[in-house]
Amino acid sequence: MKQYDIAAFVWPSYTGDEPRTRIFWPDGIGEWQTVRDMKDKVYPGCTWPRSPLWGYVNEADSAVMEKQIECAKSYGVNTFIYDWYWYDNRPFLENCLNDGFLKARNNKEMRFYLMWANHNATYLWDKRNSADLSTVVWSGVITPDMFDYICRRTIKRYFSRENYYLIDGCPVYMIFDPHNFIRCFGTTQACRAAIEKFRSQVKAAGFPDLHLQFVHWNYQNYDWLPDDDENKGATKQQIYAYLGVDSVTNYNWGGSVDFDGDYGALTKEYMNHLEQFAKSDSVAYYPNLSLGWDNNVRFIDYVPGVVTGNTPGRVLEACRLLKEFTDTGIQNGTLRAPLITVNSWNEWTETSYLEPDDLYGYGYLEAIRDTFLKTDE
């Protein structure tokens, strides 16, 4: 039987243990507050209210995570990608990883890696003030010295763990916002030097190298780079090559297609995007499975952009297509690992999660299991 690395993103907001979450969710249960309060809102494609079958659990509790790890593994999800934040010179929401996952007695049965979610923090997380998304609460741009500190801290705390996810023996480190990442250093030249230093630190820790992974945003361009940047106006592929990016993936399909409308049509559009990118002979592109999109939970007024028809049966078909794409990539050598990222384990407020609810039950997890575990190949 073929083995696949099914890696689901974890949004670590479903806890009240982090004191700074209270400025967004004052009830002390993290963003469960927003999920719980989503009632009496009607708009085209609305499937709310929904409720978690496991309840509004604290995902920074190791006992909770032990049960979630057991469930995930039984359905074929064998890797968690933790959204990891650093704001105001310190970590944010890290306790879901440190106190929940890593203290779970069975955590070594599940691999994990980090995605530095280096976007700006706005009032998107505060439904009371979400009409104002221009105000930056915390910037995702840090200093070069702080990045160096983060690199050393990450190697020591996380890369050193035996269940950290590796490709070809190299720890995988994902960056959400390539633009903010470059802004940390001013130019792509300085950014490349920082990456090379990170690689040297990883090698000094005993690894062959770092596997640097970017989140791919099809609509982004690099015309904004400063005039003294030798890559001003470069294409995304040129930036990936210059910085030495090892692979890309998506956080969700919205990074590559207009993620609005019928799920079946969007599946075809996303698969076409993957195949066209693969033909460009550029950086390795690990495919993503997205379960849907609707973030009206976070807003008082209706916000356009809702995926419809994303039933478990439709998701099962998307899984089949992504499996075929991955098998082809492994066979022709463009993909070094059978990795498929999934949005997500628990993005409830974006209506894209594997955790069971009162609408589809375990249906999405069953689609994963039936595609990637129940195979005679």
- Domain annotation covers residue 377: no
Q: What is the pLDDT of residues 60-94, one digit of tens each?
A: 999 999 999 999 999 999 999 999 999 999 999 99
Q: Is the pTM of this model over 0.95?
A: yes
Domain count, the chain: 1
Q: Which of 14-28, 182-196, 261-275, 276-290 has the lowest mean pLDDT?
A: 276-290
Amino acid at 248: V
CATH of the domain at 320: 3.20.20.80
**What would the mean pLDDT of 14-35 be, rounded to a whole number?**
96
Q: What is the pLDDT of residues 37-68, one digit of tens each?
A: 999 899 999 999 999 999 999 999 999 999 99
CB neighbourhood size of 244 (10 A)? 14
Query: Does residue 376 have a pLDDT over 70?
Result: no
| pLDDT > 70: percent of the chain | 99
Residue 375, pLDDT score: 59
Strands 79-87 and 90-92: antiparallel
Query: Does residue 374 have a pLDDT over 80?
Result: no
Residue 262, pLDDT score: 98
Residue 198, pLDDT score: 99
**What would the mean pLDDT of 204-231 be, rounded to a whole number?**
96
Residue 138, pLDDT score: 98
Residues 353, 347 contacting (CB under 8 angstroms): yes
Amino acid at 66: E
Measured CA to CA, the distance from residue 68 to residue 353 in angstroms comes to 13
Measured CA to CA, the distance from residue 294 to residue 31 in angstroms comes to 15
Residues 141, 183 contacting (CB under 8 angstroms): yes
Q: Give start and end residues of each alpha helix (H) in 280-337.
A: 312-332
- Domain annotation covers residue 312: yes
Residues 237, 283 contacting (CB under 8 angstroms): yes
Query: Does residue 377 have a pLDDT over 60?
Result: no
**What would the mean pLDDT of 143-156 be, rounded to a whole number?**
98
Question: In the predicted model, what is the mean pLDDT of the chain?
Answer: 96
- Domain annotation covers residue 315: yes
Beta strands per DSSP E along the chain: 5-10, 79-87, 90-92, 111-116, 166-167, 170-175, 211-215, 247-249, 261-262, 284-285, 288-290, 307-308, 339-343
| Token pair in block for residue 122 | 């706005």
- Domain annotation covers residue 330: yes
Specify the residue for token string 């269940």: 163
**What would the mean pLDDT of 239-268 be, rounded to a whole number?**
97
- Domain annotation covers residue 196: yes
Measured CA to CA, the distance from residue 234 to residue 246 in angstroms comes to 18
Measured CA to CA, the distance from residue 337 to residue 171 in angstroms comes to 13
Domain that holds residue 211: 5-372
Instruction: Check residue 219 and report its DSSP letter.
Output: T
- Domain annotation covers residue 367: yes
Residues 249, 212 contacting (CB under 8 angstroms): no
Residue 149, pLDDT score: 98
